[in-house]
Amino acid sequence: MNRIALRGSTKRRISNAQPTGETPSGEFNVTVMIRRREELPSLAERARLKPREKNHMSREQHGERHGSDPEDLRKVESFAAASGLRVVRSSAAERAVILSGTADAYNRAFGVELTNYVHQGRTIRAREGDIYLPEELQGVVTSVTGLDNRPVAKPHFRVRRERAQAAEATATPSAVARPAGIPAGFTPADVATFYSFPASLDGTGQTIAILELGGGFRPAELNTYFQSIGVTAPDVTVASYPQGGSNSPGTNALDPQNPDVEVMLDIQVAGSVAPGAKLVVYFAPDASDQSFLGVMNAIINDAANSPFIVSISWGGPESGATSQFQTEFDQLLQSAAHVGVTVCVAAGDNGSADFAADDLNWDGNAHVDFPASSPFALACGGTQVAAASGVISNEVVWHDGQNDGTGGGVSSAFPLPAYQSNANVPPKVDPAGPVMRGVPDVAGDAAPGSGYRILCDDQSFPDSSAGLPPVGGTSAVAPLWAGLVARVNQGLGKPGGYLNPLLYNIPATSGAFRDITQGNNGDYSAGTGWDPCTGLGSPNGENLFKALS
């Protein structure tokens, strides 16, 4: 049988993991994604229509028109049967076939060699090189994920005792051994006031999907939190979907392996600024490319909950994922745009490098975070604010030192979108490259020094007795913007959907954005207008609502 390498499937060896020499044992699932029966139409003609002028296709219409052809599904199912693999689930609407089998069977079917590695104290499956498919499936199969389950994303919250400063939002805050005092931080409702979120709106009638790649929450603790800040607790539920994860809260918010802080930050920020909205949390089994794609696919096709806003606070450097994963996720984000869903994505917390300074995989160059770098994501960068009595006195780029601050820069994977053609996106730096998609699009408060008061696993943030500052990170900005979009959608009476082209077309005179002109994130500096640190700026919610109306 002639085999051809699946385009974009190349995986590199994990440089900071040790191979055990063992083949993975037992059966596990693999997801095969399939081409659309009909390609999505261009969004160009509709891109600049105001939300009230747009008519989006329904999720059911999208699945029928732009799902996979049943004949293509049968081809993959036949290949699986001939390879000793079992079909667990097949969905034309989701363009997915879920297979189950052993490592040996997958090795034979896809021409790979799966091996166990020990990475950060746990065993993972991994492969090197390409995935191979029989000729008859070339062009039919668009991606195969799950053979390798290494993480491709991490949460983007930040709790840094040694660098959190209650600074006067200086342009270049310096790191110190220990802060002189623990910043008091702000409630998310405080931040919504700073940014003039439309006061007459609270997100009633809207549903926000919160995507999580681990962790969990306790409903009683959420109620305690919302009561403590004087906000009516929103309706929070957990989505159930095939191949999904579970709400699995840990017990120690200070454990770096416990992503509960991410989950609670997302829910508490979105729920505080849009308490009238329904929040549906979608848990994936892990942070692998298979799980990330699977949970996003589930959100887009969830006609029961029908969320029209998504908050994603997870991501990783573009260089850390295969191009098949990036292309497939970008296709899902395009689907979201067509059904009227706005997807808010954190831009990362490691400055222009998008890697921790001591990360063994860092090549010393600048990177942007994915999926924030997709042109169909609303990429959310971070600022540091100084404020009192509900008013911001100063706001600068969040940057606490090398590789510690808002992500942002220029993509290596996605070309410059039409809506950024007049944004003066610079060429990529370090290494030099062409003008491509610029990140982020918008910004909001993210610095631990002006961060958020939250409650997680019975631990309050901030906590002066424990030396803990408020929680920061661009993880807070994605749910903040998701809550703002919920309020805007409520006022518009319909989903805003794909907002990026509209936001870039709003005149500066509208006052819809606070232009951030001070600070840098390492390789890029803030300036007048759009910049690769804070995008168009932080919002003035009332003016933004008027502009979109």
Catalytic-role residue among 411, 450, 475, 525: 475
How far apart are alpha carbons 534 and 409 in whole angstroms? 10
Q: How far is CA 273 from the centre of its chain?
A: 19
| Residue 436, both tokens | 């491509």
DSSP bridge pairs for 461: 454
How far apart are alpha carbons 127 and 103 in whole angstroms? 11
| Residue 117, both tokens | 């590695």
How far apart are alpha carbons 463 and 318 in whole angstroms? 35
Given a contact cutoff of 8 angstroms between Cβ atoms, the answer to whether 353 and 320 are in contact is no
Query: Which residue in 346, 444, 452 sits closest to 395, CA to CA?
Result: 444
Given a contact cutoff of 8 angstroms between Cβ atoms, the answer to whether 142 and 327 are in contact is yes
3-state DSSP percent of the chain in helix, strand and coil, to 5:
25, 25, 50
Catalytic-role residue among 130, 148, 202, 266: 266
Residue 457's SS3 state is coil
Active site residue 395: no
Active site residue 475: yes
**Is-cis flag, bond preceding 462, omega within 30?**
yes
| Residue 251, both tokens | 């017990």
Write the CB contacts of 61 (distance below 8 Å, at least 6 apart in sequence).
none
Catalytic-role residue among 94, 202, 262, 395: 262
DSSP bridge pairs for 154: 315
The C-alpha angle 482, 486, 492, rounded to 5 degrees, equals 135
> Longest C-alpha distance within the chain, in Å?
72
State the CB neighbour count (10 A cutoff) for residue 94.
Answer: 25
How far apart are alpha carbons 200 and 276 in whole angstroms? 11
Given a contact cutoff of 8 angstroms between Cβ atoms, the answer to whether 431 and 206 are in contact is no
Q: Which residues are catalytic?
A: 262, 266, 475
